[in-house]
Structure formats: structure tokens, C-alpha cells
Amino acid sequence: MSGAETKHPKNPAAIKARAEELLARYKPLISDWDTFLDVLVRPKPTCIVANAPRVSRERLSELLSADSPTLTPVPWDSQALRVPNDARPGTWWAFLAGLYQVQEEASLLPTALLDPQPGERILDLCAAPGGKAARIAMAVGRDGTVIANEKEPRRLSAVRDKMKRLGLVNLTSTVHDGGDYPLEAGVFDRVLVDAPCTSEGTKFRQGAGYQGSAPAFLSWIAGQQAALLRRAAELVKPGGRVVYATCSFAPEENEAVVDRVLAELDGMLVPTAVRPPGLPPSAPIGSWGGRTFDQGVQAGIRLWPHTHGTGGFFAIALDKPADAPAPTTEATRHADPWSGAPATWISPVLEKFDLAGDPLAGLQVIERGDDLQLVAETHSAPARPAPVSTGVPARRARNRTPKPSTSLALMVGQHARRRVVEVTAEQRDAYQRRQAIQPSDTQLAACRNDAHLSDGIDPTGAIEQGFVLLRYRGIPLGAGFLRPGPPAEIESQYPRAWKL
């Protein structure tokens, strides 16, 4: 068998028996086999990761106290919170408002080892569904660049969705075989290889029946993984870092791949022990199938369900020596037809909202199809492979009535002083279901005409029809269209694809 999936039987005992049969070859590696099997088939706590540019973990926990009073910090990740097993954080209002993303705890490990820094240029060679690329983009900030590559074009839709909801103006997606990613893309400060794998560490807990992997399939996929790691070594700059990771238990996909590539590259990558504070240590495997691995492989980390309470995972950091030869290929940069500064194109959308400060500082606008996209000024996308998507949509280029996109509203809404409506929890939920809401006169105080008294807005001024921004507890939710009435009504402009 080659790794096909079927649905698990519902009976937990049957699931456990199936796991014991298919994973029996790992029994010599695991001292507490029964506990391993018990924990393997249980649901694992989901994590949510705060969108750090918008909200801290502490503020996020406070905002979500009504949805889930039992959020607990992940001790080894400063932005992550564990949520209960039965929670559905992808349906909570704050998720729809772009305050966090959902990840399984084990998948936090590769980014922790990568350790992205502000301003860096980083490549995620196998990015879909985009959680790690999004996390990297949050870390490098507007002065950094993240390239999220994926071999299968259809899988990029999840990456694009995260870009828009989280406001990732520093991210470009590309489609290419990562094992042959063009060197013309230029060098990167860091490269993540979260390699396609048999996914043994996650299949059972997700309820999809892992059917085992024949030796021929394991050999084939290990070859793909080695190709990805070799290309990452070529793309990373001297002094840079590569992280290799899988969600498999198989030594053939983990230690053996790293051992093989280290031997082939002969010093081009050096294993580096990185231990996130608070994460219980767990050493990689030293030998398997009569083969002893390079001692450097011990710099990696294995996560086991019964010791870490997560899915199974392997990750290792590999640094390129600072005195390694620099790449000889000249980088080519993508040159979109820049359409001008945000003030030129976006001002007609935002002028009525009286924004405090300059929330679009450091951004520029490109025209992509029918959309005007906001992109960081310092963004460094490659010419090859050609970008599929870059930045976030701000408005339609040819709309007769300038309308802010939801992405734009989420980015600037907290800075608005006019044409902004603070909603109740009930109104918030209705808005995110794309239902109209009926605001009170008090809620519409900032939506009256431009006549001002010395101490604020004229409370007797007429209410103007048009777009407004909605906030809940100061958090932007998106845009609506206000009709003065009476009675006044706000038509939800929340995206159909995102609605509750």
C-alpha cells in the first residue's frame, strides 16, 4: 500500500487496534507502547495563534473569554493558546475578524526552530495550507518578505484566504515544484521545508485511516524530501538557516533524509540544536534498519503523542556556514506595474473615515486584475516563478462607488474616528452571518454629517447614507452599507465565503 486514506471506524477500540497493526514497527522505539496508542487516537487540543501585529496573546484571551473560558497558554510559544477538544475556534467571531489562525500544536515547532526575524526574506517551499507561512509573515513584519510556494495550484486558495483575513501585505504565493525551485528567485535568509510526507503523526487523530506505506513508496517519498532539502540548501544565503520538518514517525522520512543530505552536501549545512524554552526534550533516533545516522541528526526534535500531548512530528534546524560560497545565480525581482502610493488610489475609499495616524504607511498599491492590492513597499517577490498573488485587496479598481474591502477594513478600522459603528455581540454575530442590523441613534453618533461643534460631532446632524466600518470592543469586523431610514439599517458587506 502507498499511503491511501479511508475513514476510521467509529469504535475507539477498533481505531486503536488498527493503529497497533500499522505502526507495530515502531514498538522498539517507544517504551510505553500502550500509552502511546491510547493518546495517539484521542483528539488533541487545538491551538490558536494570535495575529501579533493586531493583538497580543493576553488581549486575545480576554476577548475570547465568553467563547472559551478555558484557554491556556502554550508554554513554549509566546503567541499560542490551547483551546478545549470540543471547541470550534474557526467559527468564533475573532477568527473571522483576523485576530488569529488555527494550528495543531505540533505544527508550531518548525516556525519556532526557523526563528524568523524582522525584515528578513524567507521562503516556505511547501506552504499549503499556509499556517506556517502566515506565522512567518507576522514575524518578519512589513519590512520583510515571505514567499509561500506550493506545487499544486488548487491548494493555494487556503493560503490566499489567510493573506486576506490576516492582512499579510508582505507575502507572495508561487506555484512550482519545490525540489526544483528556480535559483533566479534569489537567496533567502531562511528556508522552511515542511515536506510532504506519509503524515503518520496526524492521520489517526484526524479520523482518516492511514493504510500503511510500502517500502517502495517510502523510498519514493524520501527521494522527494531529499530533493526539497537539497534545493533549500542552495537557496539559503551563507549564514542563513534551513528547517526541515515532517509530521511522520518514519525514520526513513526524517533522520534518514537529513543523514543522506548532510553526507551529499559535505558541510554545506550544519545541524544546530534549537530548543524552544518550555518544550520537553525528545531526541531523534540514532539508528534504524541497520543504519547509524550522522551524530548531527541528534540536534533535531521529535514530538510524540504520549510525551508531548501533540501529534507526531520531527523537525531540525540546519545552518549554512557564514563562509560558505555565495550563490552565483543573479536574482531577478518581479516588477509589477506599480500604480502609485496608497494616498492616490485608496484615499477616495477612506477619506470619510477620518483615520488617526497613517495605518497604510510603508505600503504601496498594485493593480491586479479587477483589484487594487496593498503590498509592502520593501516587498521582494521573485520574477521566476511568477507570483500568483501578492498582498491583500483594498478595493475594486473600477467600482463606481469606492468600497473598502473587508481586508482593508480589518487593517484600518481601529484607526477610524468617523463613519464607524460600535456594535453589540448580537449585532456582531448577525453581521458575520451577512444579516442586516438595526443600529441605535447612539451607535450612529459618528455617522452624522460633517458639521462639528467645538467639542465633537453635531448630534443633530443628518445621517449620511454610505459605507461604514463596524467594530466590536474596538476590534474591526469589516464594512457595511448604512441606509438612514427611518429606521436606520446597516447592510452587511461581510464576504460570503467567510460568513458564519
Q: Which residues are catalytic?
A: 247
> Is 323 annotated among the ligand-binding residues?
no
* Inter-residue contact 375 to 364 (CB < 8 Å): yes
> Is 128 annotated among the ligand-binding residues?
yes
What's the rounded Cα separation, in Å, for the pair 410 and 429? 16
Q: Which residues of 231-249 are buried (b: 16+ CB within 10 A; e: fewer)?
A: bbbebbbeebbbbbbbbbb
Integer angstrom CA distances of residue 392 from 20, 114, 318, 410: 46, 25, 32, 11
Q: What is the largest distance, in Å, between two alpha-carbon atoms of the chain?
A: 84
Burial of 384 (0-12, 13-18, 19+ CB in 10 A): middle
Cα three-residue angle 396-398-404, rounded to 5 degrees = 30
> Is 16 annotated among the ligand-binding residues?
no
What's the rounded Cα separation, in Å, for the pair 89 and 441? 33
What's the rounded Cα separation, in Å, for the pair 372 and 496? 20
* Inter-residue contact 62 to 21 (CB < 8 Å): no
Q: Give me the sign of the Cα torsion angle 13, 19, 24, 26.
A: negative
> Is 189 annotated among the ligand-binding residues?
no
> Is 14 annotated among the ligand-binding residues?
no
Q: Give me the sign of the Cα torsion angle 244, 250, 253, 257.
A: positive
* Inter-residue contact 404 to 351 (CB < 8 Å): no
Integer angstrom CA distances of residue 131 from 111, 159, 168, 359, 398: 10, 8, 12, 25, 32
> Is 44 annotated among the ligand-binding residues?
no
Q: Three-state SS for 449?
A: coil
- Supply φ then ψ for residue 386, to 5 degrees: -65, 140
Across 270-402, the runs of DSSP E, i.e. the strands, are 270-272, 287-288, 291-292, 301-303, 313-319, 338-340, 363-368, 371-376, 389-390, 392-396
What's the rounded Cα separation, in Å, for the pair 148 and 293? 31
Q: Which cell numbers in the block locate residue 56? A: 497580543
Return the HEC string of 247-276. Answer: CCCCHHHCHHHHHHHHHHHCCCCEEECCCC
> Is 130 annotated among the ligand-binding residues?
yes
What's the rounded Cα separation, in Å, for the pair 163 and 212? 35
Q: How many CB atoms lie within 10 A of CB 274?
A: 19
What's the rounded Cα separation, in Å, for the pair 218 and 283? 22
> Is 126 annotated among the ligand-binding residues?
yes
> Is 491 annotated among the ligand-binding residues?
no
* Inter-residue contact 40 to 247 (CB < 8 Å): no
> Is 132 annotated among the ligand-binding residues?
yes
Q: Which parts are annotated binding residues for S-adenosyl-L-methionine?
A: 126-132, 150, 177, 194
Q: Which parts are annotated binding residues?
A: 126-132, 150, 177, 194
